[in-house]
Structure formats: structure tokens, C-alpha cells
Structure 1
Amino acid sequence: MLNDEHKILIKEFQSESIERKQLVKQQLELIYRNNWFNLWVPKSLGGLEVDFPQGLQFLKDLAYEDGGFAWTVTLCAGANMFAGFIDPRKAKDIWQNRAICFGGSGKIAGRAEVKEDHYLLTGMWNYATGAPHLTYFTLNAPLMKDGNPLLDANGQSIYKSFFVDKDQVLIHYDWDTFGLECTASHSFSLEKIKVPFDQAFDLVPSAKTLENPLFEIPFMCFAELTLLMNYMGMFDRFLDLLERQYFEKSKDESWRSKHSRTRFKEIDGIRTNFESSYAEIMEFSKLVWDQVENYQELDEQVLENIELKSRELAKWIRLNTAALIPYAGIKGAQRKEEINIVFRNLFTASQHGLLNV
């Protein structure tokens, strides 16, 4: 799915996207041309409908090339996956647009007043990755009726997921981070916006509106694994760049005699553990995919293993990156050096609430 031509183009516009703090038109055209935002969307809607393990491998490969670019594709493709949970007639109409891109916030915030024939949405939500090019913003909001929260049988607040046309949204250009700059993950707000009932949905397998094995995977598991692929792709690149610097440093006799053996041995050990962990997590993903493809009940133990392992790996990657970056020398501190870019992207990504432990 990712060829040499793609890699060259991604690298060519990486610096410009960082400077502009958003993906540039050439990067977006690459995504649209290859339909990457529709990685998980059914073919019936014009999507790629890739197998789960294949899609995960692609996201890791993409993150190896450019973490910010990959993060944007991951989050937007993950949101476009909502096509399987919204009104099918609405989805068919929306997916006529080759540049269709959902994205938004997983946070439950604001409020959704239930009216006679629509919802009235008000609130502010953070971190809508790809905000400048989104066609629909997604959000979660608790339901209200006559000013009172609607509660379920257990007394818990009922909430729904919504998607809202970009023209109804106010974007707050507040994404100012030292990494993942090009993801343009700005906040957005709504003020008493009317949203029809068919733009609300529930993101659970039992509420799917299209038949596809992917929609049988609990969203938490899907999110854990897709985000983890980004961490793993970026860390893989980080290790390669650091090792490349070690080879350069080895040309100096003094460095070679003092550090060569220990530094290379350390990075080899980390890489061995990394590759073993990646193989294990991919095996978990294949087990999940095999079960949903064959309409089997998902093994709860496998889901628990994914939940635990994904968080352990994200923490392990963060700690090892922090431990290794001082060995990168001054290059590790120079903003335009690739190893510094990867470092910044990794640490910004590590602040995502899902896998940050």
C-alpha cells in the first residue's frame, strides 16, 4: 500500500507541513488519490475495506515515514470508519465526496438538547485532528430534555455521538505543540446548532448499520491498536536514526573505544524486545480479526491482553525514547534534524489520554 513514490512525497513536504502547522495540499492530494482516509470504509461506499491486520501494518509503515502525517491519517481514517454506524442513506450521499473526512473529539462534553425533530448542540470540544480539512466534525454529548439530563436505568447520563457539517462549526486555532504540529488538532465549538436525528449514532457493534467484520470490533480495541501502530512506527524510525548516528560517531576512535560496544549492545537489546512486542500485538490483532470474520464471539481475554499490552508498550516506548535521546548529541536538539522531529512527535503523541499511563 505504501510505495517508494509515496515515501518520497511524504518526506518532501514534511518540513513545510510542520512550518504551516497543517497538512499541505500535496499531502492531502496523496491521501485522496490513494483513498487512505477511507482505509476502513466498506467498498460499497467507495472505501478500501482493508483487513484489520493489514491496515494496522500500513499505519505503522506510514508512521515510520512521518509521524505527524500518519497520526492525521490514523485519526481521520478512524473517524471515517463511523460510516458503518450512521444512517446508510446519509452515508451513501456523504461518501460521494472523494475528500470526505470525519474527525473530532472522543471527549464527552457540551450538551445535546432533544427537541421535537432535531438536537440542539452547544459546547466546546478539544483536539480535532485535521481540523482545517475536515468535512464533518464528530463529537460526543450528553442528552438533555427540558434542561434536565436524560438518564439510563442505572442513573447514568445518556450520551450520543454526532457528526456536524464543517460550516456549522467554529474552529479555535489553538493547537500549538512542539510535536505533531501538522496534525492541526484544534478545538472547536458549537452554539445552539440544529442537528437532525440522522446525524446522531451509537458507536457500538450492536448499533452498526452496515455489515462488515470490522464493525464487530469494540471501538476501544480498534483505537488502542491503531494509535499503538503510530507509536511503534515512530519508535522504529527513532531507533534507526539513532543507530545511524552511532555508526557516524564510530568513525571517531575515541568514541568507538569508549562507547561503541555498550551503545550498540543496548540498542540491539531494545530492538529485539521491540520486535518481539510488535509480533505479539499483531498476533492479538489477527486473533480478533479471525474471530469477527468468522462471526465468533470475541475472546474477552484477548481484548484484555490488548488493553494491557498496548498501554505497557506505549509507556515502554516513551521511557526508552527519553533514555536514549541524550545519546543523539546536538542533532537530537536541533529542530530541523529528523531525529528531533521524531522525538517531538513521539512525546506529543504520548500525551494522548488513551494510552498515556
Structure 2
Amino acid sequence: MPHLAIAPLIAPLSARDARRIARHAPAADAARSLHPAQQALLHRRGWLTLLAPRSAGGAELPLPQVVRLEEAVAAIDGSMGWVLTLCAGAGWFAGFLAPGMARAIIGTPRVCLGGSGAATGYAEEEGDGYRITGSWDYASGAPMATHFTLNARLQRDGQPLLDAEGKPRIRAFLVPAAQVHLVPSWNSIGMRASASHSYHIEGQWLSQEHGFTLSPAAATADGPLYRYPFYSLAYVTLAANVAGMASHFMQLAEECMRHRRHARAGVPLLDVPEVAAMLQGKKEAYTAARTRFYAVLDDSWAQVAGGVALDDDAMQAVQASSLALVAVCRAAVDGLYPYCGLYAAREDSTINRVWRDFHTASQHSLLLP
């Protein structure tokens, strides 16, 4: 059977950057925080502001280019890919802030935006601003963050403000790290170096300019990035991370299978026709799903860049191709793991770290089948 190679994922990365990321990944996992050299690379390359408006000092790169880079980094180190994705994604919010506020934030030295999308806090109207109180979980890159984003339920005189449908009104805010109390809570088996800790805010006042609305109609920056729907952007960036980790796992699994011998046949696993065919099938399914995913992403971006908003069908296509890719990745990782031997169960092995990272990242609520 001819060998089907998985399309290389590190093309958006220089070989030197890829080696640097990989070199420090084991130490980062052990320390439960990105290695200083990894953090320095994120800042030196400007990766945390890839999606921030050019007018505010960001790179404002086309979304498909950013997604491919995020996938490539995740294919080297899942935790670093995740921090890049979530923090660059929070940097995208600058396109919905008042321009002066956006410039001030993106211009912060070593700027890094982290946060949570859950509305687990309250914003009490006070003067020309809001007083924020609440706790939020899973802020990836939290130790690096210079600002935190959050959603909060609006209140006036202690009473919830409701929308036209009688539901609580929710607004997004961006809070300087100096007003945030970090709560070390990230104790997962994987994605350890993402340091996705919790944070708490107790009665901190913010001006109105720290609030924003994630809607194309509310964008304050020009350009197609800020007309691309939020959930569509979330689906493609998360799915690309999962795909990168799955590709890394498949490469490492094949190496394990090349050296492990079949207990009964007495030959390398890859010399067993049924095993070789199974591996080939996983690769083919992965390649097909990834090709479809990028075709849909590229088409959707071309549409938005051409000035046409994505309709419900187009947004559904983005979601469906993302979830289909994630499903194929799950099937590949879970199907190949039993063939990798006890080496893959060793906590200090690379394949075990990738397996742990994959099964932690793929728990994200948006990635449910």
C-alpha cells in the first residue's frame, strides 16, 4: 500500500522557531507555564497581536493565514499553540474598542490579552462607568496577561437589566491586570503550560470605554477581520489547534508502531497488513477533513473580504467543517493510541504529552459533537 504522508504543518513557521518551541516544550509542561524563551518568541514575532487592528498597532493579518500559523504552532507544542490562539483571539477584541483605547492597550509593552467568555460576574452601573465583581475560569496565558477580557451581567441599583426578551443584558469588558486577582487553579492532565487559571475581580470601577460589543455592526476598526462572525472565528481557530495536535500525535504514533512488534506475528506492527491499512485510513480521513476545512475557511474569508456578510448557511458550513475535522482527529488519536505501547503511557514521553494536550484541548465546549 503506498505511503500517504500527512501535509506538513510547520510551513508557516521557520525551522528555527519550530526548534525553539519544541526544545522548551517539556520544561514548560513540567513548570506548568510557557518557558520564558517561548514567551519571548510570542512577543518578538508579534503573534499575540496578529488579529488586532493595524490602526491600533496590530498586524491585522488575514484570518486563514493566522489559522495556519496557529495550527503549525500547536503541531509543535499544544500549550503554546493554545495560548497563541486564545490570546491573539482576545487581541481581536481591540477592533471593537474605542480607537484611542485600542491603541493604548495594543501599545502596552509585552501586551497579552487573556480572559473568559462566561458571564460569571456583574457590572453595576456607576457614574459614567461600571463597577465589576465576579470570578471567571480558564484564562489561558493568565500569568502573561496584561489585560483580561470578560463578560458580565449588567445591573442598576443592584437589579439586573433585561433585554427586550426579558433576558439578562450581558456586556463584554476589558480590564487591566492590575485590577485583577489571579487565582491559581489550572490542574489539568494536559495543556499544563497554558496556565489557564481563574481570576477574580472585586468591586473594580471601569469607564464605559472599557466595554465593547462583539458584532460586525459595532466594529470600530475597518477591515474584513472585524466583519467575520465571532463564533465562526472561534470554531476555525479551535479546530486548527486540535488538528495540529492530532497531526503531531499521528507522526509520533507511526514512529512507535514502526518499532513495536506484534506479539503474535513477531513482526513490526507496520508490517501487519491490517495495522498498516488502519493507519493509512486514519491519515486519509484526516487529510480529507483538513482539506475540506481549509477550503471552507478560505471561501468564507474570501466572501467577507469581498464585502459580503456570511449568511446562516455559510456560518453553518464553517461550524460543520470545523467539527468534522475535530471528529476525525478524535477518531485518529483514540484509534492509534493502543498501538503505541507503554512508552506512550510514560508521562515524560513526548507522545504522552501530546496525547494529554489533545484530550484536554478537545474538551472545549464549542467542540462538542
TM over 0.5: yes
Residue 115 (structure 1) aligns with: 126
- Aligned residue number for residue 346 of structure 1: 358
Equivalent residues of 2:260, 2:340 under 8 A apart: no
Contact 1:39 1:77 (C-alpha < 8 Å) held by counterparts: yes
Q: 1:97 aligns with which of 99, 103, 108?
A: 108
Give the 5 Å matches for 1:165-244: 165-244=176-255
Whether the 8 Å contact between 2:75 and 2:247 is mirrored in structure 1 is: yes
Where does residue 345 of structure 2 map in the other structure?
333
CA–CA separation in structure 1 for the residues paired with 2:158 and 2:225: 37
In structure 2, C-alpha distance between the alignment counterparts of 1:81 and 1:30, rounded to whole Å: 20
Q: Aligned runs of 1:40-189 on 2, under 5 Å?
A: 40-189=51-200
8 A Cα contact 1:246 1:260, kept in partner: no
Specify the code of the residue in structure 1 equivalent to 2:28.
S
Q: Matched residues in 2 for 1:325 and 1:281: separation?
A: 24
Offset from partner CA, 1:254-293 (integer Å, 9 cap, x none): 1338962222211111111111111111111111111111
Q: Are the aligned partners of 1:113 and 1:146 in contact in 2 as well (CA < 8 Å)? A: yes
2:137/2:197 contact within 8 Å kept? yes
For 2:336 and 2:248, locate their aligned partners in 1 and report how far apart those are by CA, in whole Å: 13
Out of 173-182 and 294-303, give the one that drifted further: 294-303
Alignment of 1:20-31 (within 5 A): 20-31=31-42
Distance 1:91 1:118 in 2: 17
- State the superposition RMSD in angstroms: 1.7
Contact 1:151 1:157 in 2 (8 A): yes
How many Å separate the matches in 1 of 2:191 and 2:285?
26
Question: Is 1:296 aligned to 2:308, yes or no?
Answer: yes
AA in 1 matched with 2:351: I
Change (3 A) 1:257 1:121: closer
* 1:91 CA displacement: 1.1
**3-state SS in 2 of match to 1:336:** coil
CA deviation digits over 1:213-239, x for unaligned, max 9? 011111000000000000001101111
Structure 1 residue 197 displacement after superposition: 0.6
CA contact (8 A) 2:246 2:332 kept: no
Equivalent position SS for 2:149: strand
Q: Is 1:7 the counterpart of 2:18 in the alignment?
A: yes
**Pairwise CA distance, 1:67:** 0.7
Q: Which residue of 1 aligns with 2:327?
A: 315
C-alpha distance in 1 between matches for 2:251 and 2:19: 18
Q: 2:45 aligns with which of 34, 42, 67?
A: 34
Measure how far apart 1:314 and its partner are. 2.0
How far residue 135 of structure 1 moved from its aligned partner, in angstroms, is: 0.3
Deviation at 1:101, TM superposition (A): 0.9
Higher mean displacement: 154-163 or 301-310: 301-310
> Which amino acid letter does the alignment assign opposite residue 35 of structure 1?
G
Deviation string for 1:292-325 (max 9, x for gaps)? Answer: 1111132321211222232233233224322321
How far, CA to CA, are the matches of 1:257 and 1:169 in structure 2? 53
C-alpha contact 2:55 2:221 (8 A) present in aligned 1: no
Structure 1 position 42, deviation (Å): 2.5
Q: TM-score, normalised by structure 2?
A: 0.93
Distance in 1 (CA, whole Å) between partners of 2:105 and 2:228 is: 24
**Alignment correspondent of 1:284:** 296
